[in-house]
Structure 1
Amino acid sequence: MNIPLSRHRLALACCAALFAPFAAQAQDASTTQDAQTLDTVVVTGIRGSIATSVETKNEATSIVEAISAEDLGKLPDISIADAISRLPGLTAQRLDGRGQVIHIRGFSEQFAGTLLNGREQVTTGDNRGVELDQYPAELLSGVTVYKTPDASLVGQGISGTIDMQTIRPLSYGQRRTVLSAQGEYNSLGRLTEGGNDKGYRVSASYVDQFANDTFGLAIGVARMDAPFQEKHYKSWWWADTAAWGSPQPGVPGGAIALQGAEGWVKSRDAVRDGAVAVLEFKPNDTWHSVLDLYASRFDQEELMRGAMWTNDPWWNGGVVSYSNAQTTSFNGYPVVTGGTLHGIEPVVRNDSNLRETRLFSAGWNNAFRIGDLWTLSTDISYSRARVEDSKFETYAGMTGGLDVDFNVPLSHGYGYYDLPDLSDPGAVYLRDAQGWGHDGRLEDTHQKDTLRAFRVAVNREVPSSDFLRSWDLGFHYGKRTKDKSAEVYFTDLPGRTPTLVDGSLLLGPTSLRFAGMGDVLSFDPRRLLSTYYDVYLSESNDDLQKDARVVEELRTFYFKANLDIDVSDNVRLRGNAGVQYVRTDQTSAGVVISGSELAPGTQGASYGDILPSLNLVADFGNGWNLRFGAARELMRPRINDMIARANVWVDQMTGQWRGNGGNPKLEPYRANAYDISVEKYFGNASYVALAVFYKDMDTYIYTQDIPWDFSGYDYEGDVPPVSNWGVFSAPANGSGGYMRGVEFATALGGELIHDALDGFGLLLNASYTESSMDPGGGSRDTFPGLSKIVANATLYYEKHGFSARVSQRFRDPYRGEYGSIFGQRTYRHTSHERVLDLQVGYDFPESSALSGLSLLLQVNNLNNEPFRTVVSDSNGYGLFFPEEYTEYGRQYLLGVRYSF
């Protein structure tokens, strides 16, 4: 095995720290300085949560960030993604108006590991990035984000590892029942008939201990029925088509024009039910057993109604023309921003999208104390996710071309199009207005993701050493299977004849006046499905290749030494050093298309990785810590890149095999990572920290032409292949790059400044990150998900039962990964965001007859921050034009909480 020099150095450094403790065991033990910890936390609520989180960060041997519940079933935010997005170096990517996935240190969600009680979790998405909206915040007690790994952390990522935790009833130490209920309202109101603008959230949690505190029980249930609303406008693409020999009538020479647009509203009703149960048994000091169970179901019903069109010179024979075209100079280029379009045929869309997800996770951990020094632990876990997704789109429109006055902005905002009344039931027909070849489309997709895992580990305390506190030796086995399949149907009107919708099936018109598009015809598309349409299976090659299976078996062996030594009277050094060896066996099954022939394809790979890690904390006393971390890290490739799908053919001119598709032989992203953090802790909930990090990416995965053995593929054609080897275009491991950054964070209590500020506090963090990678061809690019600047600020007050908190999170522009048409994934340039949230609450005092009752008002997205993207011009001039502009409205929640 050839190991790069940088890997040699990292491995030697970690191994030196790993084996040094054994030489130190022969020395006489000296007096060990007692561990310095934070003062005992006696406050609750916001300050209690901050104090617990700060204590977790201070006492960890790795570099971590943490959040803790303010009370049983009460994390600081209503969603896990929103809560941890305020941590240093972390930020959320919004989807459908809610935080769904987390980017850590400039990496997209695909580079992060996600655990529940230390166990890797499957996903409801099509890749590895866990959708955190599947986990109700009401059922979790805290979250720890590991920025540096250690050898016993299995399921880690390159950017970091998110570990969500449920409560441990014996550690909680008291009986508690909490009931909560909130009403919810979206400020955009009811945008379309059949949608909702009001919802609710309810939850109940119970924790208790029995049999002289040897048996503990914690259970919790939560339901969310939340309305999500959306006003959406999108510019399709911008170009000077005359530069390609296809001028548009009426467009001034050399001018860039918008080639299509859309506007719609979405009304989404999301219902999530979650339940958690924890059974903990500790009959004596020898045996400790914990069983965790978690389940959720998340159902979404989405209605989308709007209008869209293309006006490029190739559509419908180039019938669209302009008159009175007005241009605006944009970075020195003339751009058409107003005038009249002639001959466009907008399609009226009424879509119904249904999604059902089922998530289940179980884990059983047992720890056995053997004698005074040994502990044997076992852990068995199972995680499963099922997804059923159905997307049905219908098309309607007027017959013949339309003349439309328009005005489009060159900055973010809604456009204006003076469309005729597209809600006229006597003029708008069910028809293929854009010439897509069918009158509707239905796609049903199915996904199942399962992960079975087992771990056995032993811990040995070393009381005779003045350097080595203990060591851990363990083995972890995990098998993950992800199956995906899809059926695609076209729906046609009999004879493809335009048809008016019966008035009894029509709903009230939907307004698109926010984008200057008037009203559009509205109906329930699924109700029309059996009345008007003939449905038939029609799958393209891309559709057929959505059927796939990926199987991964990982065997992880690890050793970790836990270090603790008094370097001097004033300096204590603690931490860990260790190594993992990960053996991976992966196989994939997909569809191979050769000409008109379809065949199953199955391929795979096997490889091993050595992952040394080192974490050291120098404690200088008086709250000063200096941390250092170094590790070899990896993140397994995206699942959809590993599918053994292929389109293959033989070049009839050269006789060489050619092909494109997935790559089941992909190996992970790999990096060497280095971290330094300086921290100062004071009080019981205050600290200041400054950290720098550097990740040297050995390899990055991008699409490239690679040599490929085509043995076993069927061949059709007159020219025989000259060799079994050819060229295959697919995702492949290529050259890497780097990610580096600096992070600042502080938590400050007002009492540190002046007694008059007691009860006030500030949480503030900011990070600057930059990256560079080489995708081939000599060009450089940044990593997807990277915002150079990420900042969060929270100002809070809590005293005499009253609490208030206002928070703002900011992120710079970034390339986000989103779902696209027909289930594809795409990267889009997303503009900066500032999201402002507000919470106000009151807890009745113990002396009150209403003791235990709390009132809470929350307003999320208080500033109604829109979602915005930009798109580059198609001529390669280096211009970026506004693309998407979407508003989600403010989310108001008013509720009560009662604990006893």
Structure 2
Amino acid sequence: MGLVALPGAALAQTPVGNTPDVNATPQDATAAPSQSAEAESEIVVTGIRASQARAIEVKRNADSVVEAISAQDIGKLPDVTISDSLQRIPGVQIRREAGEGGAVNIRGLPQVTTLLNGEQFLGANSVTSVQPNFTDIPSQLFSGATVFKSPTASLQQAGLSGTVDLLTRRPFDLKRGLTLSAAAEGQYGDKTKDWNPSANGLIAYHGERIGFLASAAYSDLTLANSFRGLQDYGVALNNEGGSATNPGAFAVGNNGVSRGTPVRNGAGTIIGYDVNGDGDANDSFITPQSHTAWNRITSRQRFGANASLQIELNDALRLTADGFYTRQTQYDRTAGFQFQNVDWLSSPFLPTKSRDTGAIDSNGYHINTVQQYTYSLPSFDSYSETFRTKSESQNYNLQLDWKPSDTFKATVRGIYGKAKRNRDQAYTQFSLTNGRQWAYNGVGNYPASVGGDRTFNPTGYQIYSQTATIDYSSGAPAFGFSPGFLTQAADVSRYGLKTISSEGNQYQNGDIWALRGDAEWQANDQVRLNFGGRYSERSVDQFTFDRVSPFYAGNRDNAANPAAGCLVKWKAFDVNLNDGKCAVLDAQGNAYTAGLTRQGNDQIFAGLMKQYGLPAAGAPTLWALDPKAMDDSEAWQNKFYPGSQNLVNPADSFTVNVRQISGYGQVSGEGELLGMAFRANGGLQVVNTRLNVRQNIVGAPQPYGVSGVDAGDVVTKRQFTDFLPSINIAFDVTDKLRARAAFSKTMTVLDFLQWGGGLNVNYAINTQVNPARFEARTADSRGNPNLNPWRSTNAEASLEYYTGRSSLVAIGAFYLAVDSFITNSTELRNDIPDNDGVIRRPVVTNTLAQGEGGTLKGIEASARQSLRDYGVNGFFGGFGIDANYTLSLGDAGGVDLAGNKMPFQDNSKHQVNTALWYEQYGFQARVAYNYRSKRLVSSNYGGIAGLAQYQQPTNYLDASISFDVTPNVTIYGQASNLTAETERYYLTWPDQVFNENIYERRFIAGVRAKF
């Protein structure tokens, strides 16, 4: 049987001729029957119905509980990434990034291992993590994918809740002779309003004893994704009254004026301020660091290539060599505005519409959700931000399959992979205020050589002279401004350059290599023995840094290094260089200001300032820097502040090395029990893990936002051994009905940041003191090398009813008992100084700890039906359906501030996938719907225990249509996110709106040819 591989149309791995696939690994579970029986028929396996039949065949013949996608499941829907296709499998949940499928969960857990043709895969978006993220991997390079939900002992490197095995094409999978195929398409977004090119192609030759294949895919996409709501980097519970840890954020506004009505005790002493008009001062309110709205354009230039060589050295030996390469350059360019909370000791956001939730915070105050904020406009900033992410991965495989007899076969295999992901950030901020709250009453102090004293923004509005409102009552933010303010916002000359920075830049490098051997001995017709061993080593190095600039070298009182100047991270007008560790003072003893201001209409910004309309009701049309100007972050910094340096952030820089030695033995058999035919396998895998973690010791903080010095290394070495049994059994109750049961223990390593990260302190500016200073507000202990890996005990049972070649009904139940979770706990630390080195207060520190265990249980139901399997012919015989439902119930033991049990993070209780398809007379059409119920994003947002961030339910509708113009040429069209779904988030209570992601509709038109 000849199988024609189409770009975007995947095929399951298929052994060829009389030499079966002797790879005793997960490849076996996806192997279709030998081609030899049908070698002369030259049947071309294409189309939706054929792909559904192949996926059902993989599931039916597998030794464990698996799901598969193949053929038209990849490419006949708008599946740009493999994640888009995987989401249609029962129990698989994904997150979309810029509208494309990204991170993958299985049964609500992210601890999912990714394999490539049965061995571990290292992707550029998963250098330090376990959870797969496939945004950089073109789907057209794959022949299919298999999701293993219950492992066998021979499935080494299995995930906690499941394993994704990505399958590339190999030449012996294709028809004899030469195969050529190619596709070209254009993609269009209804917000970007631009056509983007995409192309892929394949060439392969299958000879008598040799075959080679090469395929490649390229796309250059521009994706629109906008945002509105609370800024995602800070929320506080602000009280009307006072406490030891919060003196009452609403007591005094930034302009020194009391806010709200004073509340006095019997002695007449003010004990707080009533800001919501209920007559008391015992309320607390969720208030943000900032409200914002922005437009983001994500540009992804993606390239992938795959090559494979297969040689039958003789009738018993086959050599296979594979290479897989991906490269992506991504720019996330953002332009928008911010209402900034200019410090953390008072709040300019007055809650003018709120609701008492009945919950009590840790200080005894009533927690209120806020539906409307009134903002006294101490700061209104336009800002632009660009992230440039360059990622690259290479994965190689060399294997020798040996089958000297009908009863024995073996495989020796070596793999090597390496990946890197470099992310650079650049940020530029303009303010519409006159800056009177900063520096010296709005005047910056500079050396005479660079202009001397200069007013920050003489045409900006006077602070506190105006107000704005942000109303979330409708579920989406609506902004209100005075007409005078809107007039100012439309005038570019009224903007003053406030901040330039580049922080949190992150370079990740990783590699992996493994050597393994597998063998199978067929004892008799009913029993076979599998055994093997594996050695692997995986290393990761993460370097996180900020771009800092030397200021005013050679000037007075630069005691630290007069020649080099003071190093500054936030090149900002509101940063005064008065820190004793490196002060820069003029002759009168006044500190110079970091950041020489310029007006928005300055010649240096000619052609770079643009007007933007923003995705929120009432939002002003404003001026912001074109984010493309910051594509080269280092060059942009040096344009204003020459000599920038890459200074390590020790807390987020580390090295982790994991070595594993494993071995397994597995017995498989078949027979008859209670009148029913059965197949079963049982085995034990033993894994010894040796962990070597190098963390940086974070020294004293440096002035002006610079991270604490790298004070040396601490190295932790550990090892642990896991015994992982697994049992799978399947009964043929009837010819059509199969019952399965499985039991296993699984182990998965942690994300390497959870082992290697150090202590990171978050600073906020306090403008209530003169001069202003940066104070330690919270801290995060990012890693703990003594944490244990993820471990779980899994059980499941299912029934599968096969009603035809392309039809199946299945239902199953699963149960996972996770030994322990990595939890976020908080503690008050008294040893963390402010940025000037002075310890002034306890600092709430988020730490990682070994938490209690939890359980995840649920039900999966699926139906794949083709009317032709029921004898329906003619027009109606072309219809079919592919539908599934997953119920996933998780209990991690935590509760949110409302007293509700929190589910597993990132898990949705309900998930539905439905695809209605039609295939007849060369015409194919498909409409697919995906639903996820709410999911928990974070359990302790902003460091506030129990302040849970949830995502509301999502609904996505995709469609595709194609027509075979000739047997070799197909034209097609696809569409994704037809309903223009908006992702909505809230904090614990649905009426405490958090923010929204807004994605565009995407359309594809293309042509595909094969020869």
Please indicate the TM-score interval, normalised by the length of the shorter structure: 0.7 to 0.9
Which residue of the partner structure matches residue 304 of structure 1?
A: 334
Of 416, 425, 438, which residue of structure 2 is paired with 1:391?
425
1:608 and 2:721 are equivalent in the alignment:
yes
Would you say the 8 A contact 2:660–2:688 is kept in 1? yes
Higher mean C-alpha displacement, 118-127 vs 215-224: 118-127
Would you say the 8 A contact 1:377–1:457 is kept in 2? yes
Which residue of the partner structure matches residue 883 of structure 1?
A: 994
Higher mean C-alpha displacement, 495-504 vs 358-367: 495-504
Of 921, 924, 939, which residue of structure 2 is paired with 1:800?
921
How many Å separate the matches in 2 of 1:266 and 1:729?
Answer: 30
Would you say the 8 A contact 2:923–2:963 is kept in 1? yes
Which residue of the partner structure matches residue 694 of structure 2?
A: 589
SS at match of 2:489: coil
Which residue of the partner structure matches residue 56 of structure 1?
A: 58
Which residue of the partner structure matches residue 249 of structure 2?
A: 246
1:506 and 2:573 are equivalent in the alignment:
no
Of 176, 180, 189, which residue of structure 2 is paired with 1:177?
180
SS at match of 1:47: helix
How many Å separate the matches in 1 of 2:819 and 2:542?
Answer: 31
Which residue of the partner structure matches residue 412 of structure 1?
A: 475
1:118 and 2:118 are equivalent in the alignment:
yes
What displacement does 1:240 show?
A: 5.6
- Unmatched runs of 5 consecutive residues or more in structure 1: 1-33, 191-196, 433-438, 649-657, 707-715, 718-727, 847-851, 873-877
Distance 1:896 1:414, change over 3 A: farther
SS at match of 2:240: helix
What displacement does 1:761 show?
A: 0.4
Which residue of the partner structure matches residue 841 of structure 1?
A: 962
Please, what is the CA RMSD of the aligned residues? 3.3
What displacement does 1:341 show?
A: 3.2
Would you say the 8 A contact 1:410–1:881 is kept in 2? no
Distance 1:326 1:371, change over 3 A: closer
Which residue of the partner structure matches residue 13 of structure 1?
A: none
How many Å separate the matches in 2 of 1:537 and 1:414?
Answer: 39
What displacement does 1:281 show?
A: 1.4
Higher mean C-alpha displacement, 618-627 vs 694-703: 694-703
Q: What CA deviation, in whole Å up to 9, does each residue of 1:270-292 have, x standing for no partner?
A: 00110001111124331012111
What displacement does 1:268 show?
A: 1.5
Q: What CA deviation, in whole Å up to 9, does each residue of 1:514-570 have, x standing for no partner?
A: 342222223344375333335655869xx22222100000111101112111336x5
Of 210, 221, 233, which residue of structure 2 is paired with 1:215?
210
How many Å separate the matches in 2 of 1:662 and 1:776?
Answer: 24
1:159 and 2:276 are equivalent in the alignment:
no
What are the within-5 Å matches in structure 2 for residues 28-177 of structure 1? 44-70=46-72, 77-107=79-109, 109=110, 111-123=111-123, 124-125=125-126, 126-174=128-176, 175-177=178-180
Would you say the 8 A contact 2:188–2:1002 is kept in 1? yes
SS at match of 2:637: helix
Would you say the 8 A contact 2:145–2:166 is kept in 1? yes
1:699 and 2:733 are equivalent in the alignment:
no
How many Å separate the matches in 2 of 1:374 and 1:337?
Answer: 70
Which residue of the partner structure matches residue 473 of structure 1?
A: 531
Which residue type is aligned with residue 112 of structure 1? Answer: V
Q: What CA deviation, in whole Å up to 9, does each residue of 1:489-535 have, x standing for no partner?
A: 22526753431142424343121263422222233443753333356
Which residue of the partner structure matches residue 650 of structure 2?
A: 544
How many Å separate the matches in 1 of 2:467 and 2:614?
Answer: 15
Of 506, 519, 529, which residue of structure 1 is paired with 2:637?
529
Which residue of the partner structure matches residue 447 of structure 2?
A: none
What displacement does 1:871 show?
A: 1.6
Which residue of the partner structure matches residue 520 of structure 2?
A: 459
Which residue type is aligned with residue 858 of structure 1? Answer: Q
Which residue type is aligned with residue 560 of structure 1? Answer: Q
How many Å separate the matches in 2 of 1:374 and 1:681?
Answer: 32
Distance 1:427 1:818, change over 3 A: farther
What displacement does 1:61 show?
A: 1.2
Which residue type is aligned with residue 368 of structure 1? Answer: W
Which residue of the partner structure matches residue 327 of structure 1?
A: 353
What are the within-5 Å matches in structure 2 for residues 654-733 of structure 1? 662-703=783-824, 730-733=847-850
Which residue of the partner structure matches residue 302 of structure 2?
A: 272
Would you say the 8 A contact 2:895–2:902 is kept in 1? no
Of 833, 851, 864, which residue of structure 2 is paired with 1:747?
864
Which residue of the partner structure matches residue 814 of structure 1?
A: 935
How many Å separate the matches in 2 of 1:257 and 1:705?
Answer: 19
Of 195, 200, 203, which residue of structure 2 is paired with 1:198?
195
Which residue type is aligned with residue 200 of structure 1? Answer: P
- Unmatched runs of 5 consecutive residues or more in structure 2: 1-32, 243-247, 254-258, 261-274, 359-366, 435-461, 548-568, 573-592, 702-708, 762-778, 828-836, 839-844
Would you say the 8 A contact 1:69–1:76 is kept in 2? no
Distance 1:805 1:602, change over 3 A: same
How many Å separate the matches in 1 of 2:758 and 2:369?
Answer: 42
1:768 and 2:770 are equivalent in the alignment:
no
What displacement does 1:695 show?
A: 1.0
What are the within-5 Å matches in structure 2 for residues 222-233 of structure 1? 222-233=217-228
Distance 1:313 1:241, change over 3 A: farther
Would you say the 8 A contact 1:613–1:632 is kept in 2? yes
What displacement does 1:97 show?
A: 2.1
1:516 and 2:618 are equivalent in the alignment:
yes
Q: What CA deviation, in whole Å up to 9, does each residue of 1:389-415 have, x standing for no partner?
A: 100111111124262442412343242
Distance 1:555 1:732, change over 3 A: farther
Which residue of the partner structure matches residue 737 of structure 2?
A: 624
What displacement does 1:238 show?
A: 7.4
How many Å separate the matches in 2 of 1:634 and 1:449?
Answer: 21
SS at match of 2:466: strand
Would you say the 8 A contact 1:306–1:350 is kept in 2? yes
Higher mean C-alpha displacement, 368-377 vs 247-256: 247-256
TM score, norm. by length of structure 2: 0.74
SS at match of 2:172: helix
SS at match of 1:785: coil
Which residue of the partner structure matches residue 234 of structure 1?
A: 229
Would you say the 8 A contact 1:613–1:631 is kept in 2? yes
Distance 1:243 1:635, change over 3 A: farther
